[in-house]
Structure 1
């Protein structure tokens, strides 16, 4: 057992070092910063069994962003804590929930928010649709988290190589309708297509434009806008890179 564990740990440490060199976190923790920011590289992770507890949960958007950034760094460097999964936490959640962020993400199986942000039970309220497309059910779900549970942060999380965006771009080029309800998704994404770019660059630019459009629409919802104006809520856009597992802000 030990003879196999040693080389495996060495491989994982080497990969983690390469990940840090490829793409460190940029920007400050402040909401005005260009990127999500993480804890210093020297910060040691807490034991996996240690629950965060309700009292230690972020209560402001800035604190929530800092926690998500720190969790993403742990994910990228194979130092996951898997917080808030203990028997005690599970039992406490039978009495209620106090998530600190809403994440509207894509349905893509490679981008589960709880994993890429290294969060546990009761930490995130996640809503997932292909291409982060909004409809009344999605808007109502997000509004519930913000207005009823008092969540201070909403993150619109797009990702590299989004299949929904690619389908929308290709349908726009070909003029051929997509099957069944997939056309609805393409129609929602179509206004954000960046026709100044070609090929893969068009898809990539549209991913960012779609994140911005969804974020802007959410921020413009009257009930959410009121909370933003009073400093009780922030709505931010972010993107997950499949190549290095980095989440960074899209502004």
Structure 2
């Protein structure tokens, strides 16, 4: 597989971009990999990058978006922070991806057995971790705090709302149909991602 180009990126619809992630995850779950030369993709992207999506996921070492979606160099922007929470820097990065780099899809990807969500459910307070976990608290109020995986799924929905409410650039792009915003949950026991709006 070749690296994304300006032409291939422009030709993708938001739904087609989502389909690429679904197909990549299916390959991952089946332990198959697309035939790509990563060093060739390194060279192909020297002159520019044209990622078709921006994925906000957790820093959890088991949840690398490039691996989970069987992607290559230059395919996506990958933002990672504990609990896949939204902050100003993440929003600015997503706005750049959408408005200036042409990405067609914004994904918030949570996962099962999330340590940050579990810590928020247990009301952990410690240093800067406290501030981060406060961003997850709205999801606890909408779900059963005894079920951390349900809270993690609700946290994805809360973060999507945050993106829409706090970023006029992204909200306008979604309203115009030039991008799509979706959520997903990665199951760390199976490798499968389930998507939802």
* Residue 204 of structure 1: aligned partner: 149
Equivalent-residue separation in structure 1 for 2:143 and 2:182 (angstroms): 25
Q: Tell me by how many angstroms 1:136 deviates.
A: 1.0
- Ranked by relative contact order (alpha carbons within 8 Å, sequence separation 6 or more), the top structure is 2
Q: Tell me by how many angstroms 1:59 deviates.
A: 2.0
Equivalent-residue separation in structure 2 for 1:82 and 1:157 (angstroms): 25
* Residue 36 of structure 1: aligned partner: none
Q: What are the equivalent positions in structure 2 for 1:98-247 lying under 5 Å apart?
A: 98-171=50-123, 178-194=125-141, 197=144, 199=146, 201=147, 203-220=148-165, 221-247=167-193
Cα distance per residue 1:62-107 (max 9 Å; x no partner): 11111000000000001112636142x2212110000000000000
Q: In structure 1, list runs of 5 or more residues that go unmatched.
A: 1-49, 172-176
Moved over 6 A (4+): none
What is the aligned-residue RMSD (CA, Å)? 1.7
Aligned residues: 194
* Contact kept? 2:121, 2:145, Cα under 8 Å: no
**Partner secondary structure for residue 95 of structure 1:** coil
Q: In structure 2, list runs of 5 or more residues that go unmatched.
A: none
Q: 2:24 aligns with which of 68, 71, 78?
A: 71
Give the TM-score normalised by the residue count of structure 1.
0.73
* Contact kept? 2:4, 2:49, Cα under 8 Å: no
User: Which one has a bigger Cα radius of gyration?
Assistant: 1
Give the TM-score normalised by the residue count of structure 2.
0.92
The change in CA–CA distance for 1:196 and 1:86 in structure 2 (over 3 A counts) is closer
